[in-house]
Amino acid sequence: MKKLRERILEEGRAINENVLKVDSFLNHKVDPKLMYEIGTYFREYFSGRGITKIFTIESSGIAPAVMTAMQMDIPMLILKKQKPNTMSEDVYQTTVHSFTKGADYELTLLKKYICEEDKILIIDDFLANGEASLGAVRLVEGAGAKVSGIGIVIEKSFQKGRKSLEEKGYDVYSLARIKKLEKNLIKFII
């Protein structure tokens, strides 16, 4: 997605070889027009698959996921990183390791919001090692539902996430694929 790559180059900051900050349009301050366009790309790519719900992990995947869900006219669910006190015990949970934060968290989904007939599209802001996506997959498949695709806004292609997901048979569609990061350097796969 050309517009996304341009924004990454203009406003993104490569902190080091693993960290890219895009907080001016994606994960702190959000550009709704860009998110809408991102939703359009995901809708076009994943259309015709009978997708019934979109799942995302709180919090940075919410904006692109909700715009995709709105355009596909289907519900979107947020997988919680911390189980709220108000959430019942009837949940699916799995442990996920966050590459960015260097910590584990319990990904949680209420059982009443998924059924075996569901075909789920997972949308996330970043793909690095694939742990978050694989955690979402475990929840979906643990409920007996099907993962119909994984949409990623920004992929760090030099890390193992895509390979891990594709080896398990998942269709991964990334809008911006980064080949290399260094302090103040961002290179894309063209």
Whole-model pTM?
0.95
Determine the average pLDDT of the residues in 65-93. 90
Q: Was 12 annotated as part of a binding site? A: no
Reported as a pLDDT band with limits 50, 70 and 90, residue 171 is very high
CA-wise closest residue to 109 among 100, 120, 101: 120
Q: Was 18 annotated as part of a binding site? A: no
Determine the average pLDDT of the residues in 56-74. 96
Q: Was 14 annotated as part of a binding site? A: no
Mean pLDDT score of the chain: 95
The CATH number of whichever domain residue 121 belongs to comes to: 3.40.50.2020
Q: Was 130 annotated as part of a binding site? A: yes
Q: Are 56 and 88 in contact (CB under 8 A)?
A: no
Q: Was 34 annotated as part of a binding site? A: no
Q: Was 156 annotated as part of a binding site? A: yes
Reported as a pLDDT band with limits 50, 70 and 90, residue 82 is confident
Q: Was 184 annotated as part of a binding site? A: no
Long-range contacts of 159-163 (CB under 8 A, 24+ apart): 159/18, 159/99, 159/127, 159/128, 159/129, 160/129, 160/130, 161/127, 161/128, 161/129, 161/130, 161/131, 161/133, 162/127, 162/130
Domain residues for the domain of 33 are 2-188
Q: Was 129 annotated as part of a binding site? A: yes
Number of domains in the chain: 1
